[in-house]
Amino acid sequence: MSALQWVFIIASLITVGAAVMMVASHRMMHAALWLAVALLGVAVIFVTLEASFFAVVQLLVYIGAILILIVFAIMLTQRSTEAGSRLNSLAWGAAGVAGVIWTALTYVFIRWVVSGTPMQELGASFDDVVLLGKALVDAEGFAVPFEVASVLLLAALIGAVYIAFERKGEGS
């Protein structure tokens, strides 16, 4: 096996292991840290796909922003988090459903023979970031979805502030 395949195998084992630990850990803060490891593993997977831009975005957006938000929320709601069991009564059924889905998909993927389409390695002259940037502001390309996404982000920002804002005479 080539070095790239070994990198992929190690990164995916770390990712899946960290994801399992995230689901299994009792304390929420440990779960958040295991989620960080899993997201880091996914960033390495993006690097093996030659999508270096998305690996950086994964680090900045997921680990830099989303995970910090999650840690903040865990700390703000700390008092009630340690009580009781961490899994509900559906846990065995949920494990069965997830296991069956994964087994069926893996069976399909292993049996699936990719047809012998010739593939060309893209090499170093591979300027995907320039291509993406041009497509996002091109009116023929993806300018409208790009603007809609920015409006969505603005709406989410304002909505989150409005929902989480503490009003007088309510709550404790």
Partner 1 sequence: MIPLSWYLILSAALFSIGLFAVLARRHAIAILMGIELMLNAVNVNLLAFWHYWSQVKGAPQVNGMVFAAMIFVLAAAETAVALALIISAYRRHHTVVVDEMSLLKG
Window 24 to 63, contacts with partner 1 (CB under 8 A) = 28, 31-32, 35, 38-39, 42, 45-46, 48-51, 53-54, 57, 61-62
Q: Are 157 and 151 in contact (CB under 8 A)?
A: no
Nearer CB in complex with partner 1: 79/139: 79
User: How many whole angstroms separate alpha carbon 160 and alpha carbon 158?
Assistant: 6
Does 171 contact partner 1 by CB under 8 A? yes
Does 76 contact partner 1 by CB under 8 A? yes
**Residue 75 in 3-state DSSP?**
helix
User: How many whole angstroms separate alpha carbon 107 and alpha carbon 17?
Assistant: 21
What residues between 6 and 25 interact with partner 1 by CB under 8 A? 8, 12, 15-16, 19-20, 22-23
Give the residue from 11, 68, 75 showing the smallest Cα distance to 38. Answer: 11
3-state secondary structure 151-167: HHHHHHHHHHHHHHCCC
What residues between 118 and 157 interact with partner 1 by CB under 8 A? 118-122, 126-128, 131-132, 135-136, 141-142, 145, 149, 152-153, 155-157
Instruction: Build a one-symbol-per-residue string for 78-117: x at contacts with partner 1 by CB under 8 A, - elsewhere.
Output: -xxx-xxxxxx-xx-xxx-xxx-xx--xx--xx-x-x--x
Does 169 contact partner 1 by CB under 8 A? no
Among 116, 144, 164, 169, binds partner 1 (CB under 8 A): 164
Q: Which residue has the tokens 């929320």?
A: 73
Total number of residues that touch partner 1 (CB under 8 A): 94
Structure tokens at 10: 């190690």
Minimum CB separation from partner 1 for residue 132, in Å? 5
Cβ count near 34 (within 10 Å): 19
Among 10, 30, 73, 147, binds partner 1 (CB under 8 A): 73
* Integer angstrom CA distances of residue 153 from 5, 101, 120, 158, 160: 37, 33, 37, 9, 10
Minimum CB separation from partner 1 for residue 139, in Å? 14
